[in-house]
Structure 1
């Protein structure tokens, strides 16, 4: 879709803000599960589970009730446009909560349309139609949950990176993951989706903060592209190169010079003034070794976040059978929005020491990029010296 401009963008932002305010107020009320939840449990299992409601709810929908209620209120208008069009097999009309629940089950269970439909008592075509309506509604109403941080938010992100990992002025970690697909070799242009491990895949590039939130994503690119190529093709790269991002307060280092804001990434990325990668030499100096230690420690948040993300939204895990490659980026985007919403509404801070899986790209080898900008080399060296001189 083309970018929104002028008055249209302002109207969309106003609608999003109003919808979010209404949804947040409703979610804050903290209404306990009622008749809808009990009826849904019976449809799924034939009997109410002995597991406590809250645990049962989160095990099914991968989010607390508060977040579920917020999402329902956010997408209410779009999801209920055809209020009597969708029914259970027994003829009962699906309420708003039913529709959102079915869409979430489709995204987080990894089950087929038939499997999800059978589990809740609806036709598989109903699951398909409701899920796509949900995707469109989330795009329309929830896009404000995934945006680049403002200056105040960025200062908090930088402070956290310095406090926890000793990396001052760091604004996030960039990483990529592969969403694998099952394509026919007879399909036109199928080879472009063939990645380095001989899987058909689509790539998601994400910038992650220490609260495990996505602050920037780009997706839709084929698996045949390397991490460095995807970066260079992204809006993130263009904005950073033009100085429109990572242009906040600078760090004054020990020799009196200044270092701007930066991201960190693994060795699959080029070394740039605003994207610092680890030293790849074997014999490292004291300062280089110290930088690599801190860099490695901070960078782990990205693979752990991507692993948790794919484990939650199992629709994106495993091989998808001939997906619509025009719709798939939009589904990935909405799963990222849902990921951020759950974090935004959680009542306790993320425990970075929590034992999450980190293998989001099983059997994928580490890519290595040898590109190194001269200014990037200088910035990394200055920062490394600063770290051991403090």
Structure 2
């Protein structure tokens, strides 16, 4: 076997050989870096997975905690509601007990007041009896200085005390020498008319004297009512004029108005009979040319204080807008004859109700439904519908000459009722402003004003020019202006006859 000797490297070869090792080291280093990167990536992925798992776990825990808090809140709210309901029940029970005790106290106080009133009346009767006995006795002795003791030293009963009020104003006007013109300015009627009213109401208004005091005379009772209606002054002023108490004056006004409605209305305010209706038709036809007109109809409003119930029903929107002040009113619908005397009235419906609805609910409409207004026209303004017995003007635009002239004739008839209402409000000033009378008593007062108006008109009582009242009432055209086709044909026929018979037309 042959052995080859190992050659030794020289310096250059050795250095070259050593130069190959760095390349090998670099290869190993890159490999390590890659492995480190892979390890870091794996670690990063593991960290990311663990981070996401931690986030999900925390979210789940937050959801569970939120659900737990929601359950606690709902439980607490239910407990609070139960506590509030319990407190409400206790409060209601306590309030019921309180009201029960309060009602019991009111009952006891009413019983005590009644007992006290009985005692006072008994004491007053004893005082009156004692006074009469003392006046009739011959051995009457002087009263002692002390009013609480009599001559024998024992206690005596209290005297009846009445406030002394001056009656000079009324006594001056009640005197027979008082001027009739001044009396008419105060009471809106002459002495003769006033005397007739007093005589008519005497049997109903008269009261008997008592042992305690004399009754108020009939003339003074009637005068209190009429002056209150004529002047419209408050009750405190009426009290000073007639020397009576305020409550007494208020009571007298209602009593006399009720007597006027009961006694005088059936005599001075009634729907005309056949003979009188025939005269009314002839008078209306004589100045208008329209046949079969039995009355002129109008609806006015009387201001009132805001009622405690159904305020919206009595609210008058149009008067509120016109006066820039909240207004409440009730309606007065009336039918008059050619002289301005009322033949039918309907009083008391709320001010928000239009004229056609008031007409539907009135006794006049019921009379027509029973067939009692055949061959009779009741003329109204555009606020009423055209019916078989209600004649109204044309309301459409672009009127013909015949329709225009017909409206003028209808306006002449309608003016009769409007002027009658204006005279009534001018004569009775209580109708011009809000009154102190309660809403339930107001229809009686307004009915009395209508009856007194008729009496003055029938007796030709002239009204001073200074009492003239400008009447303003809004006319609301109803939704259904035509209620009968036959009435429309009848109206056209009347307008045609007026034109062709020369009752209307151009004047030269």
Deviations 1:47-73 (A, max 9, x none): 999x97121111111112221111101
**Residue among 392, 395, 403 paired with 1:288:** 403
- In the aligned structure 2, how far is the partner of 1:138 from the partner of 1:365? 30
Q: What residue in structure 1 maps to residue 189 of structure 2?
A: 63
Matched, 1:131 2:241: no
Q: Superposition RMSD on alpha carbons, in Å?
A: 2.8
Unpaired segments ≥5 residues, structure 1: 1-39, 248-259
More helix by share: 2
Structure 1 pair 155–99 and aligned structure 2 pair: CA distance change class (3 A): same
Does the 8 Å CA contact 1:169/1:261 hold for their aligned counterparts?
A: yes
**Residue among 333, 337, 353 paired with 2:451:** 337
Deviation of 1:234 after TM superposition, in Å, equals 0.8
**What's the secondary structure of 2:317's corresponding residue?**
coil
Matched, 1:150 2:273: yes
Structure 1 pair 211–83 and aligned structure 2 pair: CA distance change class (3 A): farther
Matched, 1:368 2:483: no
Aligned residues: 324
Structure 1 pair 101–358 and aligned structure 2 pair: CA distance change class (3 A): closer
- In the aligned structure 2, how far is the partner of 1:86 from the partner of 1:146? 39
**Residue among 192, 197, 200 paired with 2:313:** 192
Matched, 1:43 2:169: yes
**Greater mean alpha carbon deviation, residues 67-76 or residues 190-199:** 190-199
**Residue among 342, 362, 366 paired with 1:238:** 366
Structure 1 pair 283–331 and aligned structure 2 pair: CA distance change class (3 A): same
Q: TM-score, normalised by structure 1?
A: 0.76
1:283-362 to 2 correspondence within 5 Å? 283-321=398-436, 323-346=437-460, 357=468, 359-361=470-472
Deviation of 1:84 after TM superposition, in Å, equals 5.5
Deviations 1:68-105 (A, max 9, x none): 11110111012112446998xxxx85322111111111
Does the 8 Å CA contact 1:206/1:217 hold for their aligned counterparts?
A: yes
Deviation of 1:43 after TM superposition, in Å, equals 1.8
More strand by share: 1
Structure 1 pair 242–120 and aligned structure 2 pair: CA distance change class (3 A): same
**Residue among 189, 199, 212 paired with 1:73:** 199
Does the 8 Å CA contact 2:313/2:351 hold for their aligned counterparts?
A: yes
**What's the secondary structure of 1:133's corresponding residue?**
helix
Unpaired segments ≥5 residues, structure 2: 1-165, 321-326, 502-508
- In the aligned structure 2, how far is the partner of 1:63 from the partner of 1:320? 22
- In the aligned structure 2, how far is the partner of 1:216 from the partner of 1:47? 34
Deviations 1:157-196 (A, max 9, x none): 1111111222221111111011111216xx2221111123
Q: What residue in structure 2 maps to residue 163 of structure 1?
A: 286
Does the 8 Å CA contact 2:331/2:350 hold for their aligned counterparts?
A: yes
Deviation of 1:282 after TM superposition, in Å, equals 2.6
Does the 8 Å CA contact 2:425/2:469 hold for their aligned counterparts?
A: no
